[in-house]
Structure 1
Amino acid sequence: MNAQTLPVNVVTYDVSIETRDDGSMLVRSDSELPPYATKMTDKLEYWAATAPDRVMVAQRTEDKHHWETVTYAEALEKVKHLSQYLLNQNLCAERPVVILSGNSISHLLVGLAAMYVGIPYSPISTAYSLISTDFGKLRYIVEKLTPGLVFVENLGPFRDAIDAVMPSDCRVLAYEADHGVDDFSFDLSLFSDAVNTPVTDEVVSANAAVNGDTIAKLLFTSGSTGMPKGVINTQRMICANQEMIATYLNFVHQQPPVLCDWLPWNHTFGGNKNTGMVIYNGGSLYIDGGKPVPKGIAETVANLREIAPTIYFNVPKGYELLVKELKQHPDMAKVFFSNLQVLFYAGAGLAQHVWDELMELSVQYTGHKVPILTGLGATETAPSAMFTSIEESASGVVGVPVPGVQLKLVPNQGKLEVRVKGVSVMPGYWRDEVQTAKAFDEEGFYCLGDALKFIDEEKPSRGFYFDGRVSEDFKLDTGTWVSVGTLKAHMIHEFAPYIQDVVIVGRDRGFISALVFPDFEHCRHLIDSEEGTLSLEQIVNHAAVRQVFNDHLASMAEKSTGSSTRIQSLVLQSEPADIDAHEMTDKGSLNSNAVISNRADIVNDIYSATPSAQVITL
């Protein structure tokens, strides 16, 4: 492909490195972070004055035929009325706002209203209310927060969760409450009443008291290594990080971003990075009610037929599905690429075949290769700490630190563990001194748990590769270290598209094995359609499926360089990961420790003297 990369104003900077006597290195940008807003709602006020009639946020109407829109001027007016309503409920950091429902205009307005008057709010994964059957994680979070008010878009689906876990003195605010309210034991307000609350000078005074140290949000981690932790997000963290992002994606100063985005707001990627980018830079957010799953992609396709994003964000699995739709729907592809400046992914590595297909499509519809970018960060870093340059962007590259962030690279088990310090790093976890103390080293650097590797040690400004998570790595009984993150990514790439996720096992064992969670839809395609509908157990035990996995296992083994990269066996899991058993986070990622613990009988079978027929072995 000889096409040139689309010229886009994306700015990355040279870095300086200080090597210490203990072998650790400090890495920082050579540029300073420009001044940034004191609080996010300052930007709301600015754009309400500068571009009052510009659409700030939009979502499909219930019939899906039209877009309901809210301009910046309308948003600020609604936020002030909602702020007064929240103040009337005597809410504070000890009695914050909890939002149980997903992305919506009313969700965003309630969150901004809380931020406007300095009341922390916490958007919670809908999975904890709607998928979980025991409400275990939701109960844990609610007990940690002690909320004074809970908001839901529609009371009906969330009533069981509210009845089960909310304190009796917690008021409920609902956009809709169509049924089941006659015997509802909680005090209930409707959004339509709250948004018309008369505004007093109390709102002005409360807004004036908000500063950079004021808690804006309490975002809970996904719980991939235990129960979710409440990350304190201050106004300074969020605003500084938005300035870092705008300094990097510099074209947003000339072209306010237009997003069509599905990413959930209870996560920092969608809730801080994407939504924050729109408001900070006076852009427009079109809420995509679709999901990157076969049953949810249709709504995304419909939205992208109408909305031309300037930046598009997704996770790798979402891009894999999107590529298929772009190929099948040229009308959508034409709109999608018409104003697109950048494609951005996060959460995992982007498979090379998906990368290549995106490049081919972008050239087909624009004549240029649209840059594909990523970075590295965490909920604890608000989230962005590193970004790739256009020139060095490739699968596995995470770039260099942004201005305002300093990295510390610490030698650890043959890798360089990365730690982070800066104005966008959290002050700690909410009501959890023990976990807060564990999160920071003696110099106040947040321990990210990830490892990095230089692209070129002689030219550090070229950036870094992601080198796995240090906390997941283990030794075989020979003392050989296994880089789990690297091996996992390699396996998913080699077995594509038949693997959804995988847990690598072998700690203190003689060889590496894997618990594989198949992509059942792709595996079904390997089976003769005349055999009819098969159960998940029948799919994983089908000879055609097992043969494909056996072939891929052998192929991967041929490319291995030794015991640390050679996967000797695998077991296909017919039972999906269980969110109530903590095997799966709300993001859909696996908690490896919980999977291994809950499925100990399978692991024991793998390493027994005579493994069962379930184990596919080289």
Structure 2
Amino acid sequence: MDSTQKLPLDMVYHWEATNADSLYMTQPIGNGQVVEYTWGRAIDEARRMAAYLKSLNLPEKSRIGLISKNCAHWVMTDWAIWLAGHISVPLYPTLNADTVNYILGHAECDVLFVGKLDDWDMMKPGVPDSVRCISYPLSPPNDFETWDDIVAKYPPLEGKPQREPGELATIVYTSGSTGRPKGVMLSFENMAFAAVGGTKTLGVGPNERMLSYLPLAHVFERTFVELGSLYAGFELYFAESLDTFVADLQRAEPTLFLSVPRLWVKFQHGVLQKLPKKKLERLLKVPLLNKVIKKKVLKGLGLSKVKLAGSGSAPLSHDVLDWYRNLGLELLEGYGMSENFAYSHMNKPGRTRTGYVGEALPGVETKISEIGEILVKSPATMMGYYKDEEKTAEAFTEDGFLRTGDKGEIDEMGRLKLTGRIKEIFKTSKGKYIAPAPIENSLMSHDAIEMVCVSGANQTQPHALVVLSEEIRPKSADAAFRAEIEQSFTKLIEDVNKTVDPHEQLAFITVVSDEWSIENSFLTPTLKLKRNVVEDAYQAKVDGWYAQKQKVIWQ
């Protein structure tokens, strides 16, 4: 079947007609138990929920909210909202009450699906009493109408409701590292173009398996996992919790695996705790042991069947990339934004270049502006920001290219390198400009570092704030261990300073004792650093650190 002209609902009808009895989704429900959804069952439940939504007589194209961690019901809800003629509005499952309230109000949601959540009590005050809530089987305790009761009561919606290609399908509120989130409007055509281009470029088909665990409210997971499975027809597995993550991975035995830099680093640190880096490198040099060790490490991570591994949402350090590639896992970095449904650039097997996010995907035009900003254009580019014509106008050039806000350069093979954010660049007291991202990438090569923020606006030289990796943090109270870290970090500063221009050389590293997390707003829901929050938290101490004139400072 030619999927190029098919919109998401057309693909739903296709699998319903041709593959109803095949397994589509496997949902863990606790105690090692799972519920399996065939294509037929998933679409039947979505049709029943759509019939219920129709019965509410909501205005045409109403916005319907959805707040849940990833689960089978998330996917079925998206379909049900579309089948009923409405627009889905996903919310991150980690938002605070204020942001929940803002999004539900801004999108004017009358209905909200409440799913699997870790901290519903924190979010609940943000949901107005006027919003009708529907509860999933894995939801926290509540007195809402339940999914199971509704699908038992309503017969399935009949026929094949059609939506227009240019019609608004979903509003994705950006995780936003600053200010209020913006509502990115994506049409059915935007979503279809990205899903078709992505699955074709990766060469994926119905025999793949994926574990869905990065937030489905984010476009990265939505494009390549939800829409990818819908267009290629492969199986989806869900993670139960962080504690069961390795078991969930081993159950799924994914052939495709996507993650974000912070998690790739965590996986690596987990391996190196059991098998130190030098010992691993030594073992990998022994011809007879090489394959056995690689297989054992990847099997321990649950990644032994992976043929395609991807990383996105932020740059990954060269050392981490090379470490995985040395294990036989070719990690392919990609690049995209909410504003183009994560469809922009991707490395291709055999054509990767360390430090580059790859070539433009089919149908994507790229150019670099006079100030070095990456500009992109494709049929996956958003319709605009919901209720914000001014910001929409600012987001595009006169000839219709999307302003990414990222700086970059393109090599002779058309591969794109990100060199920093236009707004992140800061000026030292000497009047020199510094892009922090490349320096941060170099620092992230150190095994002991989990997160880093390079800063230093209006200072003579930049400095780095680092958070130690989870396994190492408890040891940092020990004086001998601290001395070892200080020596290692002093050497790291020397090594990094040799690779940068004089005005970019680091004055010192401050090891911070605080945790940077989503919960305390230091990270976005996709684990990106909120640079302004981090810098504000330590601003009062910075001058004192410079005055100490030490290479490593403990905060």
TM-score higher than 0.5: yes
Structure-1 residue corresponding to 2:283? none
Matched with 2:202 is 249
Matched residues in 2 for 1:550 and 1:488: separation? 15
Work out which of the residue numbers 503, 508, 521 in structure 1 matches 2:458.
508
**2: CA distance, partners of 1:268 / 1:88:** 30
Is 1:172 the counterpart of 2:133? The answer is yes
Partner amino acid, structure 2, of 1:48: E
Match of 1:62 in 2: 30
Taking the aligned partners of 1:260 and 1:377, their CA distance within structure 2 comes to 21
Out of 380-389 and 474-483, give the one that drifted further: 474-483
Q: CA deviation at 1:522?
A: 2.0
Maintained 8 Å contact 1:218/1:233: yes
**1:305 Cα deviation (Å)?**
2.7
Residues 177 and 419 (structure 1 numbering): CA distance in 2 closer, same or farther, change over 3 Å? closer
The aligned amino acid for 2:73 is S
Give me the whole-angstrom Cα distance separating, in 1, the residues matched to 2:385 and 2:442.
33
Deviations 1:95-114 (A, max 9, x none): 42212221111222112111
Aligned to 1:45: 13
The worse-fitting range, judged by mean Cα deviation, of 321-330 and 474-483 is 321-330
CA 1:543–1:95: 2 relative to 1, 3 Å: farther
Which residue of the partner structure matches residue 191 of structure 1? Answer: 147
How many residues were matched structurally?
532
Specify which of 192, 198, 205 is matched with residue 239 of structure 1. 192
Partner of 1:411: helix, strand, or coil? coil
Structure having greater relative contact order (Cα 8 Å, sep ≥ 6): 1
Structure 2 vs 1, CA of residues 213 and 179 (structure 1 numbering), >3 Å: closer, same or farther? closer
Answer whether contact 2:509 2:553 (CA < 8 A) is retained.
yes
Post-superposition Cα deviations, 1:447-469, rounded to whole Å, max 9, x if no partner, equal 1111222333xxx44x2222222
Structure 2 counterpart of 1:82, which letter?
Answer: M
CA positional deviation for 1:604: 3.5
**C-alpha distance after superposition, 1:403-456 (max 9, x if no partner):** 2211121121xxx32111111000111222232222112222111111222333
Render the CA deviation track for 1:6-63: whole Å, top value 9, x for unaligned: xxxxxxxxxxxxxxxxxxxxxxxxxxxx972442121111112222222111111321
Matched, 1:590 2:540: no
**TM-score of the pair, normalised by structure 2:** 0.87
**Cα distance change, pair 316–274 in 1 and its aligned pair in 2 (3 A):** same
User: What's the offset of the Cα at 1:178?
Assistant: 8.8
1:92, CA displacement in angstroms?
5.0
Pairing of 1:34-183 with structure 2 (within 5 A): 36-64=4-32, 66-91=33-58, 95-128=62-95, 132=96, 135-153=97-115, 157-159=119-121, 161-162=123-124, 164-176=125-137
Residue among 431, 441, 444 paired with 1:489: 441
Q: Is 1:316 matched up with 2:261?
A: yes
Q: Residues 330-353 of structure 1: CA distance to partner in whole angstroms, max 9, x if unpaired? A: 397189566432111112333344
The one-letter code sitting in structure 2 at the alignment partner of 1:315 is V
Whether contact under 8 Å (1:59, 1:287) holds in the other structure is: yes
For residues 497 and 311 of structure 1, what CA distance do their matches in structure 2 show?
A: 26
Cα distance in 2 for residues equivalent to 1:502 and 1:517: 6
| Partner SS state of residue 490, structure 2 | helix
Kindly tell me: are residues 42 and 177 of structure 1, through their superposed partners in 2, closer, same or farther at Cα, counting changes over 3 Å?
closer
The answer on 1:498 being equivalent to 2:453 is: no
Q: How far does residue 313 in structure 1 lie from its aligned partner after superposition?
A: 1.1
Asked whether 1:378 is paired with 2:337, we answer: yes
SS at match of 2:457: coil
Instruction: Assess if the C-alpha contact under 8 Å between 2:486 and 2:552 holds in 1.
Output: no
Q: Whole-Å Cα distance in 1 between the matches of residues 551 and 509 of structure 2?
A: 9
CA distance in 1, matches of 2:535, 2:70: 33
1:108-134 per-residue CA deviation (whole Å, 9 max, x = no partner) reads 211211122331122211211xxx4xx
> 1:74-473 counterparts in 2 under 5 A?
74-91=41-58, 95-128=62-95, 132=96, 135-153=97-115, 157-159=119-121, 161-162=123-124, 164-176=125-137, 188-199=144-155, 204=159, 207-208=161-162, 210-250=163-203, 252-253=204-205, 255-291=206-242, 296=243, 299-323=244-268, 330=296, 333=299, 336=302, 339-362=305-328, 370-412=329-371, 416-456=372-412, 460-461=413-414, 463-473=415-425
Distance 1:178 1:46, change over 3 A: closer
Task: Give structure 2 stretches of 5+ with no counterpart.
Answer: 275-294
1:600 and 1:179, CA in 2 relative to 1: closer, same or farther beyond 3 A? closer
Residue 11 of structure 1 aligns with which residue?
none
Q: Which letter does structure 1 place at the counterpart of 2:330?
A: P
In 1, Cα distance between equivalents of 2:176 and 2:4: 31
Q: Which amino acid aligns with 2:530?
A: N
> SS state of the match for residue 452, structure 1?
strand
Rounded to whole Å, the distance in 1 between the matches of 2:464 and 2:403 is 28
- Contact 1:301/1:332 (CA < 8 Å) preserved in 2? no
The CA distance in 2 between the partners of 1:309 and 1:231, in whole Å, is 30
Partner SS state of residue 289, structure 1: coil
Partner AA of 1:50 in structure 2: T
Residues 302, 116 of structure 1: CA spacing in aligned structure 2 closer, same or farther, 3 A cutoff? same
Counterpart contact for 2:210–2:254, Cα < 8 Å: yes
Q: Residue by residue, what CA displacement relative to the aligned partner does 1:138-181 show, whole Å, maximum 9, x if unpaired?
A: 2222221221111123699525522x122222111012499975
Pair 121,178 (structure 1): closer, same or farther in 2 beyond 3 Å: closer
Aligned CA-pair RMSD: 3.1
Partners of 1:158 and 1:70 in 2: how far apart? 26
CA separation of 1:614/1:403 partners in 2, compared to 1, >3 Å: closer, same or farther?
closer
Normalising to structure 1: TM-score of the pair?
0.78
AA aligned to 1:344 is: G
Q: Aligned with 2:251: secondary structure? A: coil
C-alpha contact 1:100 1:126 (8 A) present in aligned 2 = yes
Per the alignment, in what secondary structure is the counterpart of residue 385 of structure 2?
Answer: coil
How far 1:85 moved relative to its partner? 1.1
Q: Matched residue of 1:397: which SS? A: coil
Sequence identity of aligned pairs in percent? 22
Residue pair 2:23, 2:235 contacting (<8 A) in 1 also: yes
Alignment-mate amino acid for residue 194 of structure 1: I
Which aligned pairs between 1:547-566 and structure 2 lie closer than 5 A?
Answer: 547-557=487-497, 559-566=498-505
2 CA distance for matches of 1:180 and 1:397? 46
Matched letter for residue 488 of structure 1: E
Offset of residue 379 of structure 1: 0.9
Residues 1:524 and 2:474 are matched in the alignment = yes
The 1:78–1:35 alpha-carbon spacing in structure 2 relative to 1, beyond 3 Å, is closer
Q: CA shift at 1:360, angstroms?
A: 4.1
Question: Take 2:444 and 2:500, find their aligned partners in 1: how far apart are those partners?
Answer: 18
- Which residue identity does 1:173 align to in structure 2? I
Residue 616 of structure 1 corresponds to: 553
Residues 177 and 509 of structure 1: CA distance in aligned 2, closer, same or farther (over 3 Å): closer
Letter in 2 for 1:303: D
